[in-house]
A and B are shown apart, each in its own frame.
Chain A
Amino acid sequence: MAWTRKILRVDLTNGTCKSEPLNMEWAQQYLGQRGLATKYFISEVDPKVDPLSPANKMIMATGPLTGTPASTGGRYSVITKGALTGAIACSNSGGYFGAELKFAGWDMIIFEGKSPKPVYLSIENDKAELKDAAHLWGKTVWQTEEIIKKTHQDPQIRVSSIGRSGENGVMYACIVNDLHRAAGRSGVGTVMGSKNLKAVAVRGTLGLGGLKDAKGFFAAATAAKKVLADNAVTGQGLPAFGTQVLMNVINEMGALPTRNHRDVQFEGARGISAEAMAEKRPSDGKSHLVTNAACFGCTIACGRISRIDEKHFSVVNKPEYWGASGGLEYEAAWALGAANGVGDLEALQFANLICNEDGFDPISFGATVGAAMELYDLGILTKEQIGMDAPFGSAEALCKLAEMTARGEGFGKELGLGSARLCEKYGKPELSMGVKKQEFPAYDSRGIQGMGLAYATSNRGACHLRGYTVASEVLGIPIKTDPLTTDGKADLVKAFQDATSVFDSAGVCVFTTFAWTLADLQPQLNAACEGEWTMEKLAEVGERVWNMERLFNNAAGFTAKDDDLPPRLKTEAAKTGPAKGLVSGIDKMRPEYYKARGWDANGVPTKETLARLGL
């Protein structure tokens, strides 16, 4: 229904919920979701705000295509100042929550202040109220969703909530919806917890309406779905093998960060890959993978639903984990596995279940365990401090530490700091593998050079989803580039970042871009949304959103020196594989990128650039 033109403003301090009209002038400049919500956010929040103070705000936003029949049109994002990073945060989630919010008649919810006691927001179409959540505080995500559905006697309510980690101040807590879909990165769940907001429960029955050209839209959406179906990646590869198919690819290319980036290839990669998930295990003759799954309106269905081995040590006497549940996706499998040298697939799924159940980011958690294991290996952290032996490769340590982090127990509290704060605390800041205090995802920037630049310049800290040049450097989408060279990567990263900003502002999933370009999205947006949405206008929106986020970060105190990688990636060459002998060429790429962006040598957008983008 394109925009509903309505915003819900929730003042948590005073316990009020008010409707206000959407600023349609801004909608024409920033589209929706990531772009439009960030515009609201930076217009209302001081960039220097402490992320965990009541003065920080948090926005849950849909895009104009959320809730429409556009393929993957079920996305929503959470925009705030990230607890983990102190930078602009925008975490995107699938599942069904976003579409339900739209069906209830809301483009976005702006949360401000801090509730004096735990509450949850209940929305039923235009009725919105804050309700007491004393009985939900201390409960997991899974329990919270169940209790809310029972209380309202409505199994069709969609719930987004934090688990115990968000209450306990784990710096990389997520907001989880539909049990295993999450606004996962940068600590958006930590911000939600700091506001005493436990959950948002939505029921929307207003349906679809308000498309500019309904007939044209359905034709455009149908044509775009055919593009996805006919494409070998989105039509066959992703549904059959999920993102996890990359485990062996990236390992073979020597770009699979292993043991806190000491190595770039993991000897156990095959055992934790999509291929391993699909084969029958000796213990019970069943495969780990049960089926694939789709988010709202998605015709790709990349999601994985798996069943853990009931005999695995992690779940003995814990039948609550024996059912089919979400995972493993590539990023989680890498972070919980290769990053720590753990090659036990069932252990990874257990840790992943705990991350979903109590709402914390498996990428940041896994990578922080990797850093702790290196500190243990160096003798800086001891068995007594951690509460167990924690060498690289220990599946037992991984599983126990996941539970301790979820509950805020013992050393789990320290792991909840994230790797940057943990390594700083123990005098080894250089061992934190991340950018802007956010841990790297699953690609080593020595073996995939463009990703190093994408990480260093990502506005929300190290992230693969802001500019996924892996598509080009590894998979040849849209064209193949050489992963081992820095040449041309500045322009490539910029192009991916700007295009992704548009997809993230539209309400669709970025995985469509394995088949779609902006030219496939444009006719859908143009038919759905009021105004003229040309290719040129969309390209400008993408660049405008990127620069707007950058301006916020600059005003928050980030400088060019924060657009950098840890020394390990710049001085310790890859030991094996095609990148053997290579370090990251970030120092060469950074100035080229600033130039391509129209920024000065300090990474500040020039007056001309800002004027060109109307900023």
Chain B
Amino acid sequence: MQVIFKLYATLQDYLPAEAKKTNSFPLEVGPGTTAQHVIEQFQLPQKLCHLVLIDGRFVPPAERATRVLKEGETLAIWPPVAGG
């Protein structure tokens, strides 16, 4: 099944080349794939995975390993950032 995977700010270094212009790309994942599985698959440093959203909703660190991705969902991740 397919999900959308987005990486921003310093994490965009981990994007495949074709996704650099959009920060976003479709990702094939198997059933039962969790947010944490994707983080590991792309070798994202854990401490940079600060803001993890699935369809815009915050996934607390404790739930990343259990929150299973569903078809068509969007997983978006940011390092620690802020604005005003």
Contacts and interface: CB of A to CB of B under 8 A. Distances in A.
Interface string A568-590: 00000000011000000000000
Interface string B41-84: 00000010011010111101000000000000010101111111
A253 B53 contact: yes
The secondary structure that dominates the A interface is: helix
A599 interface: no
A279 B20 contact: yes
A238 B83 CA distance: 7
Interface in B27-53: 47, 50-51, 53
A474 B83 CA distance: 11
A249 B84 contact: no
A511 B14 CA distance: 28
Interface in A235-254: 236-238, 240-246, 248-249, 252-254
A471 B81 CA distance: 10
B56 A475 contact: no
B84 A465 contact: yes
Contact of B84 (A237, A248, A476, A510): A510
A233 interface: yes
A243 B23 contact: no
B76 A237 contact: no
A380 interface: no
Nearest to B48: A232
Contacts of B60: 480
A168 B10 CA distance: 44
Contact of A237 (B20, B23, B80): B80
Nearest to B80: A232
A362 B55 CA distance: 30
Interface of B: 6, 8-10, 12, 20-24, 47, 50-51, 53, 55-58, 60, 74, 76, 78-84
Instruction: Pick the 10 closest A-B CB pairs, nearest first.
Output: A243-B83, A246-B83, A232-B80, A237-B81, A578-B56, A245-B81, A330-B83, A514-B82, A233-B82, A233-B80
Interface of A: 231-234, 236-238, 240-246, 248-249, 252-254, 270, 274-275, 279, 302, 329-331, 464-465, 468, 471, 474-477, 480, 482-483, 510-511, 514, 577-578
Given A241-B9, A243-B82, A248-B76, 6 more contacts: A236-B79, A243-B83, A245-B82, A246-B81, A480-B58, A578-B55
